[in-house]
C-alpha cells in the first residue's frame, strides 16, 4: 500500500495548450465560428448570465475608478492598501507600449482583438503561456510569460486602460490535477470577460476548447485579488516556503472569507508549520464556505491519518466517494485502502475510476496494473504497465510495477490469466 500524507493546494493557474482564444457562440444550433490569423486562433462566443457592474469612462479613467473602489473594499476588510499587491497595476512602460502598439476603435470588439494580437504575435509582446508562478501584470509584461491568472491581470489592466470595461471570470467545477512532491496541486481557471448577457465575450489565453463555458461566472475584483494571494500561497508551499505561504494565505482569507481555496491553502500552511488544530479549523471553514469543496476534505483526510485517527480518515474517504469527485488521487487513496483490506475487486474499481479521470497520470495505470497482478492477471498488468511507461517511466508506482512483474516472471517463468 502507498502511504500518503499528501495534501491538496489550489490555484487558478489552469494548464492549457499554448494559443490564444476569443470565442463567441452565436447560438446552440449554429455552434461556434472560428478563424485563425498568423497562427493566433480567434473566435467569439456568447456567455449567458455574464454581466458588468456598469462602470464606463474614457481611456485611463476607468482603471482608476475601479482601483479606487477596490482600495475602499480592502480598507473595509481592515487591511492597509499600501501593503497589498494589486496585480493588475500597469507601469508607465506598459502604458507607453499600449500607445505605440494598440489602435483604439469605436468597436470594443476590434480594440480587444487588436490588443490580443499585439500581446501574442511575434512582432508584438509575444506573450507565451508558462505554468507555475502567478506574476503580476508588470511581471508578465517584463518576462513575456504568464499563466492564465497572470494573463488575465495583464489583460484586465491593459483593456481598462483603453477604456474597455472588462471583468474577471472564474470557471466553476473546472479542475485539473497534478502531483508536486508531496502536494497535490488542483488547478482551476480564471479568464477575462467583456459585455453583458448575449453580448458577452470571454477572452482566453491558451487552447481551451475542451472547457465547459457554461461554468464561467463573473467574479469581483476583490475576489480576483484574493485568488491571486491564494495562488501565491500555493506556489510558495510547492517551493517549501511555509511561513511566507502562511502570510499570503491569511491575507487571501481576510480579503475574501467566502473563498474556499484560501481557507484550504491556509490549512496546508498551518499543518506544515505544526499547528494541527488550527489547520483543522481552516479546513472545516473551507467546507463550511463550500460543502462540495473536495480539496478541503482531502486535506482533512490527510490530517486525520497523520493524527492516527484511522476511522475518521476512512469516513472522509467514503464521503468523497459519494460526491461528484473528479480527483484521481482520491480514487488512488480509496483503491489503496481497499487493497490493504484485501478487497481486490473493490480496489480494482477505484483504480479504474482513477485512470478514467486521471488518464494522463502514469500512477493511475500503474495502480491498475498492480491490482491486476495481485489478481493473477499478468497480461493485463503488462498492458497497464505499458500505458504507465508511456506517460512516465520514472513514476514510483510504474517502477514498482515493472519490478514486480520482472520478479514474478523470473520466479515462476509462467503467465497466468484469470
pLDDT at res. 247: 96
Domain chopping of the chain, boundaries = 9-219, 258-412
- Give the Cα separation of 30 and 38 in Å (integer): 26
Q: Is the dihedral of CA 307, 311, 316, 318 positive or negative?
A: positive
Instruction: Considering only the C-alpha atoms of the chain, give the largest distance between any 2 of them, rounded to a whole number of Å.
Output: 79
What ranges in 107-210 are assigned the alpha helix state H? Answer: 108-120, 137-143, 148-161
Q: Say what the pTM is.
A: 0.74
pLDDT at res. 297: 84
pLDDT at res. 176: 66
Instruction: Say yes or no to pLDDT of 182 above 90.
Output: no
Of 17-21, 56-60, 307-311, 344-348, the one with minimum mean pLDDT is 17-21
Query: How is domain 9-219 classified at the CATH fold level?
Result: C8orf32 fold (3.10.620)
pLDDT at res. 20: 37
3-state secondary structure of 225: helix
Q: What is the mean pLDDT of residues 394-403?
A: 90
Q: What is the mean pLDDT of residues 150-161?
A: 93
Q: Please, which pLDDT band fits residue 21 given cuts at 50, 70 and 90?
A: very low
Question: Tens digit of pLDDT for each residue in 37-48?
Answer: 222 222 233 333
Q: What is the mean pLDDT of residues 294-305?
A: 84
pLDDT at res. 37: 25
* % of the chain surpassing 90 pLDDT: 33
Instruction: Say yes or no to pLDDT of 379 above 80.
Output: yes
3-state secondary structure of 179: strand
- Give the Cα separation of 108 and 330 in Å (integer): 45
- Give the Cα separation of 326 and 41 in Å (integer): 29
Q: Please, which pLDDT band fits residue 89 given cuts at 50, 70 and 90?
A: very high
Task: Please give the C-alpha separations between residue 118 and each of 147, 148, 165, 200, 210, in angstroms, as whole numbers.
Answer: 18, 17, 19, 22, 25
pLDDT at res. 108: 84
Instruction: Say yes or no to pLDDT of 53 above 50.
Output: no
pLDDT at res. 316: 80
Query: Which range, 68-77, 282-291, 307-316, 367-376, has the best average confidence (pLDDT)?
Result: 68-77
Question: For all residues of the chain together, what is the average pLDDT?
Answer: 78
Instruction: Say yes or no to pLDDT of 122 above 50.
Output: yes
CATH of domain 258-412: 1.25.40.10
Instruction: Say yes or no to pLDDT of 23 above 60.
Output: no
79 vs 42 pLDDT, higher one: 79
Q: What is the mean pLDDT of residues 256-265?
A: 93
pLDDT at res. 26: 29
Q: What is the mean pLDDT of residues 151-180?
A: 82
pLDDT at res. 18: 36
* % of the chain surpassing 70 pLDDT: 75
Q: Please, which pLDDT band fits residue 120 given cuts at 50, 70 and 90?
A: confident
What residues contact 13, with CB distance under 8 A and at least 6 apart?
Answer: 131, 132, 134, 147, 148, 149, 187, 231
Q: What is the mean pLDDT of residues 281-298?
A: 88
Instruction: Say yes or no to pLDDT of 197 above 50.
Output: yes
Question: Tens digit of pLDDT for each residue in 319-356?
Answer: 776 666 777 877 887 888 788 888 888 888 888 888 88
Instruction: Say yes or no to pLDDT of 49 above 80.
Output: no
Amino acid at each position: 500500500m502507498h502511504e500518503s500524507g499528501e495534501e491538496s493546494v489550489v490555484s487558478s493557474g489552469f494548464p492549457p495548450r499554448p494559443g490564444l482564444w476569443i470565442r463567441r457562440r452565436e447560438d446552440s444550433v449554429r455552434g461556434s465560428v472560428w478563424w485563425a490569423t498568423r497562427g493566433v486562433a480567434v473566435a467569439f462566443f456568447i456567455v449567458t448570465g455574464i454581466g458588468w457592474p456598469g462602470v464606463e469612462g474614457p481611456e485611463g479613467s476607468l482603471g482608476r475608478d475601479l482601483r479606487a473602489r477596490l482600495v475602499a473594499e480592502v480598507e473595509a476588510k481592515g487591511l492597509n492598501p499600501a501593503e497589498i499587491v494589486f496585480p493588475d497595476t500597469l507601469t508607465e512602460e506598459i502604458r507607453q507600449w499600449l500607445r505605440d502598439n494598440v489602435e483604439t476603435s469605436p468597436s470594443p470588439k476590434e480594440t480587444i482583438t487588436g490588443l490580443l494580437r499585439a500581446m501574442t504575435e511575434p512582432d508584438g509582446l509575444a506573450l507565451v503561456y508558462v505554468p507555475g508562478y502567478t506574476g503580476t501584470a508588470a511581471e508578465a509584461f517584463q518576462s513575456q510569460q504568464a499563466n492564465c491568472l497572470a494573463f488575465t491581470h495583464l489583460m484586465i489592466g491593459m483593456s481598462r486602460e483603453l477604456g474597455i470595461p472588462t471583468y474577471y471570470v472564474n470557471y466553476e467545477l473546472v479542475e485539473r490535477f497534478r502531483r508536486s512532491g508531496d502536494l497535490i496541486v488542483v488547478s482551476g481557471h480564471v479568464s477575462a470577460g467583456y459585455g453583458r448577457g448575449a453580448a458577452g465575450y470571454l477572452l482566453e489565453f491558451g487552447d481551451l476548447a475542451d472547457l465547459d463555458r457554461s461554468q464561467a461566472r463573473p467574479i469581483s475584483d476583490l475576489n480576483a485579488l484574493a485568488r491571486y494571494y491564494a495562488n501565491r500561497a500555493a506556489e510558495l508551499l510547492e517551493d517549501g516556503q511555509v511561513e511566507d505561504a502562511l502570510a499570503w494565505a491569511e491575507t487571501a482569507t481576510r480579503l475574501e472569507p467566502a473563498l474556499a481555496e484560501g481557507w484550504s491553502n491556509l490549512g496546508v500552511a498551518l499543518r506544515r508549520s505544526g499547528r494541527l488544530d488550527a489547520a483543522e479549523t481552516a479546513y472545516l471553514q473551507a467546507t463550511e464556505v463550500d460543502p462540495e469543496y473536495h480539496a478541503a476534505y482531502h486535506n482533512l483526510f490527510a490530517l486525520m491519518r497523520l493524527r492516527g485517527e484511522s476511522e475518521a480518515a476512512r469516513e472522509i474517504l467514503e464521503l468523497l466517494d459519494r460526491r461528484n469527485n473528479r480527483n484521481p488521487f482520491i480514487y488512488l487513496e480509496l483503491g489503496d485502502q481497499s487493497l490493504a483490506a484485501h478487497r481486490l475487486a473493490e480496489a480494482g474499481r477505484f483504480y479504474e475510476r482513477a485512470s478514467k479521470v486521471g488518464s494522463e497520470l502514469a500512477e493511475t495505470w500503474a495502480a491498475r496494473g498492480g491490482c491486476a497482478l495481485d489478481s493473477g492477471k499478468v497480461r493485463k498488468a503488462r498492458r497497464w504497465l505499458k500505458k504507465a511507461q508511456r506517460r512516465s517511466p520514472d513514476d514510483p508506482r510504474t517502477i514498482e510495477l515493472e519490478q514486480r512483474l520482472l520478479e514474478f516472471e523470473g520466479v515462476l517463468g509462467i503467465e497466468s490469466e484469470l
